[in-house]
Amino acid sequence: MSDDRIQLLRTAFVVYYHRDLDKARTFMLDFGLTIASELPGETIYFRGYGSEPYVYVCHQSQTGRSYFGGAAYVVASFADLDKARTSPHGDGQIRQLDGPGGGRAITLTDPAGHQVHLIHDWTTQPATTAPHLEKLTVNFEDEKPRKGRFQRFAPGPAPVFRWGHYGVTYPTGAYQTMYDWYTKTLTLAPSDVVYRDGVPVTCFFHIDRGTEYTDHHCFFFKAVKPDGEPDVAHAAFEVHDFDVQQLGHQHLESKGYELCWGVGRHVLGSQVFDYWFDTSGFMVEHYADGDVVNCDTPVGKAQAGPQALSVWGPPVPAVF
């Protein structure tokens, strides 16, 4: 069966505008990103140790305020960009990307005014040399495969591998409009739906690649705002494992940054999470050990509340 939606391959990067670029630069380095390219005072392209040329675009805001500039996905072909160009939700212009890796892009605007960037011909790069990240051999109570070898770790930031997902908060009542737009325009499919009083309010979407397994969610939205423009909920970046995540937690704590919530384990998606506020007040997450799903995975249903958010961890903060 043909699928006339815009075909997504994977996540690419997020875009932020910061009022204080220097403070944002310092935070993102402490968060575990490295600088791929920098135009001092204007734009910084941060990368992880994966193959993406960059995963976070950090602009100096010219408006006096910090704001989110949307997220980007890699599409399957140039034909998908052309399809977006002729879409009533597109800006009609295919442009060259300025950052490392080149490529071309076009921007869609969803019904609430949130921007989604689609890119193609983005040249991946060899993975950078990250600190030695061993896949740990774990000793259990009834099985001890690690004999005469020890678990040893170095303190410091949690090296980021890639950007994995983000979320947007929309006005109450916008759920069906946003659900229809995202599932009919892009190859996104629901993984879990969260209900409140029998009404769907939150949906987690994975990239629909048929039987190919992809992350439990690359995007989610919550239709819970009383009014106003959509807001970014958070952007999440994958790290190696729980120990690396905990070391990163301790590093950020030692630097005096503001903790939001963590460390804990989610119910939906199963990730081990750690949420922090950056220096502009945006929420960013380190995560590890997330679920993967495909077209054969049943769509989950959950009731809204703390029990849908974490299996273990600190109390759920009010911001959630």
pLDDT tens track for 103-126: 999 999 999 999 999 999 999 887
Average pLDDT (268-291) is: 98
pLDDT band at 210 (very low <50, low <70, confident <90, very high): very high
Single out the residue of 302, 303, 252, 305 nearest to residue 274, CA to CA.
252
136 falls within a domain = no
248 falls within a domain = yes
| Residue 178, pLDDT above cutoff 70 | yes
% pLDDT > 70, the chain:
98
User: What pLDDT does 256 receive?
Assistant: 98
251 falls within a domain = yes
Distance between CA atoms of residues 216 and 205, nearest Å: 7
Instruction: Write out the residue range of the structural domain in which residue 50 sits.
Output: 8-123+160-312
Number of domains into which the chain is organized: 1
User: What pLDDT does 130 receive?
Assistant: 65
135 falls within a domain = no
Average pLDDT (259-278) is: 97
pLDDT band at 227 (very low <50, low <70, confident <90, very high): confident
Instruction: Specify whether the CB–CB gap between 293 and 210 falls below 8 A.
Output: no
62 falls within a domain = yes
User: What pLDDT does 128 receive?
Assistant: 64
pLDDT band at 154 (very low <50, low <70, confident <90, very high): confident
Distance between CA atoms of residues 302 and 202, nearest Å: 10
User: What pLDDT does 290 receive?
Assistant: 97
132 falls within a domain = no
Residue 13 corresponds to which tokens in the numbers above? 């990067």
Dump pLDDT digits (tens) for 49-92. Answer: 999 999 999 999 999 999 999 999 999 999 999 999 998 888 88
98 falls within a domain = yes
Model confidence pTM above 0.85: yes
Dump pLDDT digits (tens) for 127-152. Answer: 666 667 889 889 999 999 999 998 88
Distance between CA atoms of residues 45 and 36, nearest Å: 6
| Residue 162, pLDDT above cutoff 80 | yes
User: What pLDDT does 293 receive?
Assistant: 98
173 falls within a domain = yes
Strand partners, 276: 259, 284
Q: Is 40 exposed, middle or buried (0-12, 13-18, 19+ CB in 10 A)?
A: exposed
Indicate if the alpha-carbon torsion angle 63, 35, 115, 317 is positive or negative: negative
CATH of residue 79: 3.10.180.10
Cα within 13 Å of Cα(235), Cβ side: 25
